[in-house]
Structure formats: C-alpha cells, structure tokens
Structure 1
C-alpha cells in the first residue's frame, strides 16, 4: 500500500468489502482537472454488479492502489451499479458532471453502454472498457483477459477430464448474461469445444445478469429432465458454477458431475480443493486493474496508449487466462500469490487442504 492514497468515493454497498480488502483514503485531491498534465485528475471506476466478489475485493483495490502510485493527487471515484442499468447510467452521468477526465467502465449492459461512450467522447472524456467489451461503439481502449480463450479453456479442460474418466452421457452449458458481450465471447469459446465434441449438449441457458439463483433454477429443471444423463456442467463463472453444484448436491447426485467455473473466487478454490468443482480460471484482477490505471494515466497525460491488439474496432490489451484444477492449485493459487493458505484453508477445508499437501 502507498503512503499517500488517491482519494476515492465508494457506494455504501461496496464499502465493507473494500475496507476488508485493506483500502483506505487519506490523500486529498486539489479538485483541479489534469488537463493533460497528469498531476491531478478525476477518474471514475464504474463496475457492474455484486454477483461476483472480485470487483469490490480485487479490481477496485488494485486500480486505486496503482492510481495512487502513478498520480497521488488524482481523485478516483469507485461505484458499483449492482446489476442495475439505470443506476450505472446515473453513475456515469455523475462522473461526467463531476469533471472526470477518464472513465473506466465495466458495463451492466454492453449494448446500452454505447450511448454512454458516445456521450463521454462528445465531451472529450476518454472511456476505457474494462472486462466487458462494448461492440456497438468503440471505446478509447479495452482491457481484459481473453474471454473467448477462457470459454475454450474451461470447456476443453472439462472434456479432457470426461474422456480420461470414460464418462458417457451429456453436458449442460450455463452461459453468462445475455446483455454482457464478454459473456458472449466466453460462450463462443465454450461452443468451439462443445459443438464438435463427443458429448451431447443436453441443455443450454443464458443467465440473466449472471444471477446464481437463475442458474440454480435452470440446473434444477435440467436434473428433473435428464437426471443421471448429466455427466458435466460447463458454467461460465464461479457464481453460476457454484449454483449448479448446489442444485446437483440438493438432488443427491452421486458421484457429483464435474462443474467448471471462472474467476478463481475463494469459494471456488475451496470447492476445487474439496472436489466439488472441477476447474476455474485464474485471472488475477491486480493484472487488469493495474493495467487500466496505467492506461488511464496515459490518457490523463494527454498521450495515446499503445494497443496490443484490436477487438470490436477498439484498441485493446488482452491477458492470457490460466485453468486451475486440483493438479495445479498449489502452483497457481498459493505459490503464485493469488491467495494465502490461511485465506482458503479455513476450518471447513483444512482436512481437504492437508489431503492435497497444501499447508
């Protein structure tokens, strides 16, 4: 943590999680716009929902810390829309009204976000699309892990496991939100494996706003219809994967079909160690959070950041995801510094950790 912090504002719903994550605010901005000088500026960091814990616990602290390092006198305004399109629009408009020079936006609805981008660009404000791309109107930059590679990776990992175990039957496919272009890319990656794979796709579901209860309800219905024909579930993130697991466990399915995930949430790592979730994706939020801060600071200085690639006509930087299973959880999660053993191996999972040699 830096001694002098960028000032930030958070919603009441996000405050507790950020405090637990170790964020504080004791630096003050002089309120002046950066004007291309980079000495001070107002930057907004607008995230989409609370369905994933990553935004409050990982992305926002990473972005805030890096901005404090790059621009101690910059003001960072963090808001979470709690999956509400209208609320995110209000937060975006407030950021413009408050003089934001750069807005980092992870949109609730990627189609609706095009209007927000247009509004900002008309006022000379740079927009960095974060995690979820905005296909209908190019933002000034896009930063994310490679979402299509995420989908292909979790599906291929699952299919390799099913083939190794000689499983016979079909799979369920649980996608993310239909209003999220990143979810569409993850789905495309999954489809690249599932569509030509050796297992029948029994049913597919697009999860509104990534809501786990919706994914659990779908899985409940699929269990009623297909029962023991279900040999695996390709779920697009840890929230929907955890919901599918809850439904499978409630139905008493034994053995439990392997279920995928994405985001490497603590609960997902615990389920992997316990053997109830097969895989997840490690994509440390500190990587994209810090990258977004660096790009934001480049815009504040009046410069144009160099892209690595282009996606949806938007200059982009995409990072490679890593699949996590029991076989590499020690190396990727603990040796890699994503989490400590104490954070994951709580009392309920201590024996499972010991069994895998995690201490």
Structure 2
C-alpha cells in the first residue's frame, strides 16, 4: 500500500499545477476536478476514481492540486473556467475564497459540485456530495464515552462520574467539514462536560482554541506537546483526546511518545481519529489508537462522477437527501454513509468489504 501511495503521490506532484488528464480524451469534453492537496492520500485516490468513472461516461478530466493554498486554488479555478470545462468538482481549501471564479462559472453555465467540503457564501454551487460529518463527529464522541466506560455498548449511562480528563484537537477552521464534526462532538460530549463527568483540563475547550489550520499533523503535535508540558507533567492523567482525523491523531501520538507516554500503559490515553487511513488502522490493531471513522470515499467519488455525468447528459441533479445552508443559498445535498471502526471492526468493516486486504493492515 505504501508503495502504491508513493507512486500516486509522485504522479500527483508532477502534475499538480499543470493539471492531469484522466487517460485518453473523452468525446464529450473535460470535467475540472480541484483537490486541496496531495498530503492526504484519499484526494488522489478519489480523483483517480472520478477520472475512471468520467472516462466510462465519455468525459476527459483535468485534475489539479492546490498544495493547501487558497490563492493557488483560485488561480486554478479561474484557468479551468477560462478553458471552458463542462463541469467542476471542487474540494475547497477555503470554502469562502472561491466566490469570484465560481460566479464566472455560473455566468458560463458551468455546473459546480461541492465535494466533501461545502462551498460557502456563493449561489454558484449547484449540488453538494459529502458524508454526514455531524454523525462522524458524534461517532468519535461516542467512542470516547464507551471507551471510558461512561456509556455501555447500547449508549446507556453506566453511572461512572469520573471526572475524566480529555483534550480536543479540532480540524481546520477554514473547512466547513471541521465545523460539522464539532457539532457532532458537542452533541455527544457537551452534556458530560456540563455535569463534570468530563473536563478539558487545559481549558482549551472552544473550537478556535483547538483548531488545526489545514489539518496539519505537525501543528497538532506541537500544540499537544505544549498541553502535556503545561497541564499533564505534574501527574494529572490524560484519559482521552477527541481527534477527528487520523493524520492529526498520528501527530498526537508523536507528541505523546516524545513526552514519555507509552502505548499499553495506564498513562496512554484513548485516541479517536477518522478516515480509516491504513497506518492508523495498523495503529488501532497495535493498541495506539482506539477508533477511526470509515468513509467509503471510493463510492463517494464514483457516485459524484455519475451525478455530474447524468446532469451533463440531460437528466438533471437529483433532489438530494437534505439541504445545507452555505450562507447565501440552500444547497441540495446527497449524504454518503460512514461507520465507526474499533479493533473488532477492522475485519468486518474494512477487510470483508474489500476496502483493505488483511495484508495491507497487518491483520493475521
């Protein structure tokens, strides 16, 4: 898996600013696909899946990666609109930064689909495909409650009152997904914080205090190291860390190990995550990480490409499952499913469904 991802990363980096086609040119025109970066392997896998699906439907693709830089993505989007792509699929670096070129796309009758992250404060987005990230955040919160024994497997309170010390490592403040995850966190954990069963001992308990710009693992690691030094070096026990993304969890793990914490000991806290990245699934099986959230992003990518192709073929966009308010308009939205993964879930959820092989995750 590592060799495959390295190969994909190399290809993506080589074509990041020039754009890369999806193989042989299609007969029906080109679809523009804008991805935020190559640092998260899922964006490359999803771009490849979309490219393959569009090719089956007769469309070429132009894929560009913005290196997590909003101005770069603005330029990429402007270029695609100028070149007259047939449609746009956009994962925004900053959901509020693309208003100008999106307005140009609307004026040119180019359909725009927000992918995973909501495009905000614009009426130039036609559809939104994503996961239920509020549920995602809530699942991670539930994992903490059950992992600490505050709730049983059925979600009922066990009577444990703690107090248990937790910390928060949030996602990027410029990503709408991170805010949805935060809502899920609050829906599950806030009642226990209010009654004192849980407490954030560092005092960094707001979204802004715990946010991690651009989901950067090194940023998360440095912040957690500072929290450990200031709050937990005197003997206080850190019981759990709510983290919504596996890359950030790996940063937290690095902070813990560099601060003298050892997995498998009483001092090692319960750690959540998300995206079911292969290295983090291995960490779950090794006892370093408690949970992740499985996102079938291959199905999301294929489903999104099919929706766009259907629209271009005259079938229109579907009604959607719900609507999301982006600050300017309500955007029709299709939600794709997700599920919590702990140690016992790796085989039935990830391996038996074909997302990973047993060898890829080191499952015996």
What secondary structure is seen at the aligned counterpart in 1 of 2:62? strand
Cα distance in 1 between the residues matched to 2:56 and 2:31: 14
Indicate yes or no: 2:182 matched with 1:183.
no
Q: 2:128 aligns with which of 142, 146, 159?
A: 142
Q: How many matched pairs? A: 322
Q: Which moved more, 1:284-293 or 1:295-304?
A: 295-304
Cα distance in 1 between the residues matched to 2:217 and 2:87: 32
| 1:129-169 Cα deviation digits (max 9, x unpaired) | 00001231241000011111100111111211112696643
For 1:14, the equivalent position in structure 2 comes to 12
For 1:84, the equivalent position in structure 2 comes to 69
For 2:37, the equivalent position in structure 1 comes to 49
What secondary structure is seen at the aligned counterpart in 2 of 1:244? helix
- The answer (yes or no) to whether the contact 2:169–2:220 under 8 Å persists in 1 is yes
Indicate yes or no: 2:278 matched with 1:266.
yes
For 1:339, the equivalent position in structure 2 comes to 356
For 1:68, the equivalent position in structure 2 comes to 55
For 1:218, the equivalent position in structure 2 comes to 223
Following TM superposition, the consecutive aligned residue runs of length 4 or more in structure 1 with deviations greater than 3 angstroms are 10-13, 15-18, 23-26, 164-168
Cα distance in 2 between the residues matched to 1:115 and 1:157: 41
Gaps of 5+ in 2: 1-7, 152-159
| CA-CA distance at 1:27 after TM superposition | 1.8
Cα distance in 1 between the residues matched to 2:348 and 2:14: 30
- The answer (yes or no) to whether the contact 1:48–1:107 under 8 Å persists in 2 is yes
| 1:296-324 Cα deviation digits (max 9, x unpaired) | 10222233211222112101101121000
User: Structure 1 263/16 Cα, relative in aligned 2: closer, same or farther at 3 Å?
Assistant: farther
Cα distance in 1 between the residues matched to 2:175 and 2:128: 14
Cα distance in 2 between the residues matched to 1:201 and 1:171: 5
Q: 1:291 aligns with which of 303, 307, 329?
A: 303
Gaps of 5+ in 1: 1-9, 30-38, 346-357
- The answer (yes or no) to whether the contact 1:62–1:285 under 8 Å persists in 2 is no
For 2:155, the equivalent position in structure 1 comes to none
For 1:325, the equivalent position in structure 2 comes to 342
| CA-CA distance at 1:97 after TM superposition | 1.7
- The answer (yes or no) to whether the contact 1:45–1:60 under 8 Å persists in 2 is yes
- The answer (yes or no) to whether the contact 1:67–1:293 under 8 Å persists in 2 is yes
For 2:188, the equivalent position in structure 1 comes to 193
| CA-CA distance at 1:333 after TM superposition | 0.8
Cα distance in 2 between the residues matched to 1:26 and 1:261: 34
- The answer (yes or no) to whether the contact 1:238–1:262 under 8 Å persists in 2 is yes
Cα distance in 1 between the residues matched to 2:312 and 2:101: 19
User: Structure 1 100/115 Cα, relative in aligned 2: closer, same or farther at 3 Å?
Assistant: same
Cα distance in 2 between the residues matched to 1:163 and 1:116: 50
